């Protein structure tokens, strides 16, 4: 009996051991297989795609294959690796040898194209000598800021090419072009105030995201209608980050030696060499643009009398006199009460944004709330512009007129 009991116990122990070893071996084998599959995927991704580098002059992997673009959506690829690296030959094919030009400027030219999966793109080709540091700086500014930043009101960067013979950026295609064409071509576009108000709100949300919701604050430095693009649904997208800079949350300002931005939109402190520059310079530029959105006219009119040449001063004067409504009533498209209210609100917010002293300008989160009616618009100060001409900015003298129009300084 004792012998049988011992045999039973021995058999049970053996069975338990065998079962344990089978389960343990199966688990180890499963883990090993998964590791092999993961390693293979990583290897394939590294050979099919390239991730963005902090120094584009450093050798990178092969460009993404056309076949990959055929079998996967751009959205899926961007979730895995963003932005993508394209070869010069691919961009030549995508644009059919750059046959359709969408626009041009000091940076170079933009061409229309299609990815192999029929997604429309805009290819921005940077113009300049291969060794031109400004070209490299602009390229790095675009990729380093917008490359990993995604928001409905920011233009989407799909990829880039940084080769000796070609430096280009590939963006999503914007069907309705830039805001300046939309605003100032009165014969082509006659949009109501409500639609313009939505464009203003969307643009403000995009700038708010750059300033307040990114890990590092992004200062755009060149907010103006030419750099706001409109998609097929007229959703505004902030674009052209060639002058942008990253600013850590620990730093309060940047000191620059040269002018940055576009005369007529650049904040007054931008005109003073060595002056401390904060993200509030974008708030000022947005305010200037807000007046142009309301009026559908440029803010500076050299044909007008001196006191009326710059619209913000005229708007402030009418506001102080309690006659701002008269200005709104004279605007094209402002007829019914609701449009009048939206236009007047945009005008008041614009006055707050373009104040001379940066610290007096509101945060973009406050701008969004005021434009959307979630926050009462505070009364603009009556002396908002008294320091504009030839006086000090944070202890530094300025003798340049910051309100005249002009082109970007890059």
**Binding site membership for ATP: which residues?**
124
The H or E element that residue 161 is part of is strand 157-162
Strands (E), 276-342: 276-277
Phi, psi of 337, deg, nearest 5 = -60, -45
Query: For residues 270 and 281, is the Cβ–Cβ distance under 8 A?
Result: yes
| 132 counts as catalytic | no
Catalytic residue among 70, 185, 222, 231: 222
Query: For residues 230 and 177, is the Cβ–Cβ distance under 8 A?
Result: yes
Token pair of 42 as six digits = 């990583």
- Residues in CB range of 278: below 8 A, 6 or more apart: 219, 252, 253, 254, 358
Q: Rounded CA gap, 279 and 210, in Å?
A: 10
C-alpha distances in angstroms, 13 versus 2, 25, 200, 275, 380?
17, 18, 77, 82, 86
Instruction: Measure CA 92 to chain center.
Output: 26
Binding site per annotation, positions:
124
Token pair of 111 as six digits = 């061409």
Please report, for the chain, how many H helices and E strands are present, in that order.
12, 14
- Residues with catalytic function: 222
């Amino acid at each position: 009996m004792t012998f049988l009991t011992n045999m039973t116990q021995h058999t049970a122990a053996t069975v338990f051991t065998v079962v344990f070893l089978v389960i343990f071996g199966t688990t180890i084998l499963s883990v090993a297989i998964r590791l092999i599959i993961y390693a293979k995927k990583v290897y394939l991704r590294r050979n099919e795609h390239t991730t963005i580098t902090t120094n584009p002059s450093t050798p990178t992997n092969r460009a993404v294959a056309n076949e990959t673009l055929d079998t996967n959506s751009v959205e899926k690829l961007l979730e895995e690796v963003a932005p993508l690296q394209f070869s010069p030959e691919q961009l030549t094919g995508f644009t059919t040898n750059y046959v359709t030009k969408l626009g041009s400027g000091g940076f170079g030219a933009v061409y229309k194209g299609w990815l192999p999966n029929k997604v429309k793109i805009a290819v921005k080709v940077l113009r300049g000598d291969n060794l031109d540091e400004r070209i490299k700086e602009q390229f790095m500014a675009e990729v380093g800021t917008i490359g990993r930043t995604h928001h409905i009101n920011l233009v989407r960067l799909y990829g880039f090419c940084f080769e000796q013979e070609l430096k280009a950026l590939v963006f999503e295609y914007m069907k309705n072009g830039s805001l300046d064409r939309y605003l100032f071509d009165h014969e082509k576009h006659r949009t109501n105030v409500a639609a313009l108000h939505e464009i203003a709100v969307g643009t403000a949300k995009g700038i708010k995201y750059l300033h307040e919701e990114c890990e590092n604050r992004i200062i755009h430095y060149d907010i103006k209608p030419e750099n706001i693009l409109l998609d097929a649904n007229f959703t505004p997208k902030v674009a052209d980050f060639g002058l942008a800079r990253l600013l850590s949350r620990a730093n309060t300002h940047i000191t620059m030696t040269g002018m940055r931005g576009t005369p007529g939109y650049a904040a007054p402190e931008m005109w003073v060499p060595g002056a401390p520059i904060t993200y509030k310079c974008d708030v000022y530029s947005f305010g200037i643009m807000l007046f142009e959105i309301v009026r559908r006219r440029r803010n500076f009119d050299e044909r007008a009398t001196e006191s009326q040449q710059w619209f913000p001063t005229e708007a402030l004067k009418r506001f102080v006199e309690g006659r701002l409504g008269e200005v709104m009533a004279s605007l094209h498209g402002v007829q019914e009460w609701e449009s009048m209210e939206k236009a007047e609100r945009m005008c008041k917010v614009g006055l707050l944004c373009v104040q001379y002293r940066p610290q007096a300008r509101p945060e973009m989160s406050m701008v969004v709330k005021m434009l959307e009616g979630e926050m009462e618009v505070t009364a603009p100060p009556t002396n908002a512009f008294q320091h504009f001409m030839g006086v000090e900015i944070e202890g530094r003298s300025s003798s340049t007129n910051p309100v005249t129009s002009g082109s970007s300084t890059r």
